[in-house]
Structure 1
Amino acid sequence: MSTTDRSETPVEDFHLDAVAPRDTVSANFRLYELTRSELAERRGIDNFFETDAQLQAAVHLARQVLQPVRDAFGPFTPNSVFRSQALERALKQRPASWISTSQHTAGAACDIEIPGMATLELARWVVKHLTAFDQVICECYDPRRGPNSGWVHVSLKPPGAGANRRAELSYIRDPGSGRMIYVEGLRASVA
């Protein structure tokens, strides 16, 4: 299988008919890392990009979010980047008619963890060190379950899609209802 180094290719020059899974899209990330999903593999769900826009958004995200995190902390594999509508439905247990509005389906979001680093600490690092992000969400972090409980969701609008909001949120368990809710600010999922 051929591999092409596309780490210097302008984002707008990425097209579905001219890429291969092992092509490099940034210094340390390959295209297949932006579409891999254990759930998709187990269920036989096609999770490759459907449009050039999704591909270009994911490459932009790899260069502006994943690569700086890799440069700072060393090798890691993102939990999730692009998710097809079929994968979103399987993940969220929704009917075939449901359409997700998640930024993952646009290739504009990733979920990451760094082994041994507290999830909340990683979220704070992203806010402090990345020049652009749309949302940073500390999701399901409970320090009682260890430093790698939960994950950090980072989204980044693709070029030309408007200004990034720089929103800082947490997805935590509401002590009153026991339900998971989004709240402003970065914090652990404990009262």
Structure 2
Amino acid sequence: MAGQDLSKAALASLSTATVRPEDLIAPNFQLYELTVSELAARRGIDNALHDDAALRSAVHLARAVLQPIRDRFGRFTPNSVYRSQALERLLKDRPASWISTSQHTEGRACDVEIAGMATLELAHWASANLPNYDQIICECYDPRKGPNSGWVHISLLPPGMGKNRRQLLSYVVDAASDKLVYVEGLQAQA
């Protein structure tokens, strides 16, 4: 069944009560692409957007971040856009009482990999070509494992939620400790 074309609908008009998974929420993205999780499906975890604010944040992210990437590089499947608290707890092996502060739980972040494109190169492209972002983090990139290791985390605050920091970070292996650490800038090593 084809969904509604909501790709130009005002964010404020979108509601979890009316927007369906098959609805087009950006020129080349359907809503389900923002919530799909193989792990959640395998474990029976509900990963539906929990409220209108998360829905609007995720749609804003799709329009302002994911769509420009798809326009430039073609079809790709975004990884981990929205994550419910239950999915976050499973991914991070936390107790049922733990509440994540990850921007993914509010629909404000995505992890992106483009087949055949070096992860660090994608991070640099995003920082140079996306007009706005909160954070771009080159995560788990390790040149010893090849140019496609890791992924690029990109977050974006929705309108009215404050100023985006335009922060560039890398979460990479520290040569001295052989552990992952956050460092300023987009780079391959600490």
TM range (shorter): over 0.9
Change (3 A) 1:91 1:141: same
Counterpart residue type for residue 96 of structure 1: A
Cα separation, 1, equivalents of 2:174 and 2:52: 39
For residue 177 of structure 1, report the CA deviation from its aligned partner. 2.4
- Structure-to-structure mapping, 1:77-156, within 5 angstroms: 77-156=77-156
Counterpart residue type for residue 44 of structure 2: G
- Identity over aligned pairs, percent: 64
Q: Which shows bigger deviation, 1-10 or 149-158?
A: 1-10
Cα separation, 2, equivalents of 1:2 and 1:72: 25
Counterpart residue type for residue 34 of structure 2: L
User: Contact 1:2/1:20 (CA < 8 Å) preserved in 2?
Assistant: no
Cα separation, 2, equivalents of 1:146 and 1:5: 39
Structure 2 residue aligned with 1:66: 66
1:126-168 CA deviation, whole Å, 9 max, x = no partner?
0000000000000011223222210000000011001100000
User: Contact 1:58/1:108 (CA < 8 Å) preserved in 2?
Assistant: yes
Specify every segment of 5 or more residues in structure 2 that has no aligned partner in the other structure, as ranges.
none
TM-score scaled by structure 2?
A: 0.97
Structure 1 residue aligned with 2:39: 39
For residue 176 of structure 1, report the CA deviation from its aligned partner. 2.3
Aligned residues: 190
State the 4+ residue runs in structure 1 displaced beyond 3 angstroms.
none
Counterpart residue type for residue 168 of structure 1: L
Counterpart residue type for residue 187 of structure 1: Q
1:33-81 CA deviation, whole Å, 9 max, x = no partner?
0001111111111000111000000000000000000001100000110
Cα separation, 2, equivalents of 1:135 and 1:50: 23
Cα separation, 2, equivalents of 1:135 and 1:88: 19
Q: Which shows bigger deviation, 171-180 or 118-127?
A: 171-180
TM-score scaled by structure 1?
A: 0.97
Specify every segment of 5 or more residues in structure 1 that has no aligned partner in the other structure, as ranges.
none
For residue 173 of structure 1, report the CA deviation from its aligned partner. 1.6
Q: Which shows bigger deviation, 166-175 or 52-61?
A: 166-175
For residue 180 of structure 1, report the CA deviation from its aligned partner. 1.5
